[in-house]
Amino acid sequence: MKTILVTGAAKRIGRGIALRLHHEGYRVAIHYQTSEKEARETAAECGNAPLFRADLESVDEIQRMFHQVEEQLGSLYGLVNNAARFRRKDPLEITEADWDFIHNVNLKATFFCCQQAALLMKKTGAGRIVNIASLGGIRPWPAYAHYCASKAGVIMLTRVLAKALAPGISVNAVAPGVILSSGQEPRVQDMIAATPAGRSGTVEEVADAVLYFLNATDFVTGQTLAVDGGLSQR
């Protein structure tokens, strides 16, 4: 059975991806940081999936997590880089700490998780990496400069690593538009109104795109698939 590690898999989109992969026959490994209770619930629903806790701001903790994955599970076929941070802030007020808060998880951790996963995947010669980017990495959102820059970085990282890790290991990205989970703000309603599909997307629709890349051959690599109801076309 192929093992896929999903980061930030306790709740929301990460949880939905983990559940979907489990139902499709993959062995899922659940990463979480603070949401231990929810992570245990997700793991139970994924056939008592193994749990890995790490603060992804720390490269040491990332390396430790991948060592644990190898020790406990033997090999790794897939990685879904889902964990991220999202903050609204006027660009004229963004501080160094705000910048690092977003980039340390969204871009730096995504890179080092790719690196550590690829080192494991190289041992078998095959692997699939799916980075969860964002429509914000494609379209400029003025109140989210640091977030948009981090996700644009994820898209370029996807392309660079697709070249660097081929053949055998594919690297692709999914860029969600507005995905409804809970507690949506009024401005999200404005984005939903602007979405050609006329609605927000679902966690299941994001999971579908992730599953496509995991199931695809290594001939599909370096791609970013927007799951956004057409919003990136406006």
- Cβ-based neighbours of 132, under 8 Å, separated by 6 or more: 13, 80, 81, 82, 84, 154, 173, 174, 176, 206, 210
Q: Which of 5, 13, 120, 169 binds ligand NAP (CB under 6 A)?
A: 13
Q: Is 147 a catalytic residue?
A: yes
Task: State the number of binding residues for ligand NAP (CB under 6 A).
Answer: 26
Radius of gyration of the chain (CA): 17
Nearer to ligand NAP, 34 or 215 (CB): 34
DSSP SS3 for 44: helix
Choices 21-29, 67-75, 128-136, 213-221; region in contact with ligand NAP by CB under 6 A: 128-136
- Using CA of residue 197, residue 199, residue 200, residue 203, what is the dihedral sign? negative
Q: Which of 18, 49, 76, 105 binds ligand NAP (CB under 6 A)?
A: 105
The per-residue DSSP string of 61-91 comes to HHHHHHHHHHHHHS---EEEE---------G
In angstroms, what is the minimal distance from the CB of 209 to ligand NAP? 11
Q: Which of 28, 46, 56, 226 binds ligand NAP (CB under 6 A)?
A: 56
Is residue 32 near ligand NAP by the rule CB under 6 A? yes
Partners of residue 224 on adjacent β-strands: 173
Q: Which of 83, 145, 155, 207 binds ligand NAP (CB under 6 A)?
A: 83
- Nearest in space to 173 (alpha carbons), one of 182, 160, 183: 160
In angstroms, what is the minimal distance from the CB of 232 to ligand NAP? 11
Q: Which of 84, 118, 148, 214 binds ligand NAP (CB under 6 A)?
A: 84
Choices 8-16, 20-28, 67-75, 209-217; region in contact with ligand NAP by CB under 6 A: 8-16
Q: Can you read off the two tokens belonging to residue 162?
A: 């697709």
The catalytic residue positions are 147
